[in-house]
Structure 1
């Protein structure tokens, strides 16, 4: 229940919501570009975008075209910071929510 309440309060805050939308937009852009440049399915393109920006990088996919490689350099430079900021902000929000609930129960 705490997780759902945290997500709900996260989405009600404009700054958090904008960060979420920016993160989603960067993943969608990556998915569309890799689909076009590399000819990957939408699922494969989304998968690659997600594992790249979260710095997991399994290595099972890699751009083969010159434009795909150039895009990847720019995509990582811009996208990693956005995704990590989102993950960090979500964690901090969740952590603050738990602390507030503990103080109320004391």
Structure 2
């Protein structure tokens, strides 16, 4: 019994081809074909899983909106910094220089007293 390698290869390739073609002969069953439930039905409506949000407060009237805007603009103009007016910036800088000199004088006076008091 002398079987050549060539014949073994031919038989194995043939067996693989026959098995592959046999698998193609019977298509798989459609999904859920054996289930008593039917698949999803196309209702034409998009499913919503959450309720629609509702407004928590009442809306502003036009008069309330105008009053709020004027109140905000007054508050905004009241918060303008010194960079908006050069005169105000110069005055504040002079105040800071005066405060610095006063603090230096106070510090020298405190240091003078602390060096003369016994410990």
TM over 0.5: no
Higher fraction of helix: 1
Per the normalisation by structure 1, the TM-score is 0.35
- Higher RCO by CA contacts (8 Å cutoff, separation 6 or greater): 1
TM-score by length of 2: 0.31
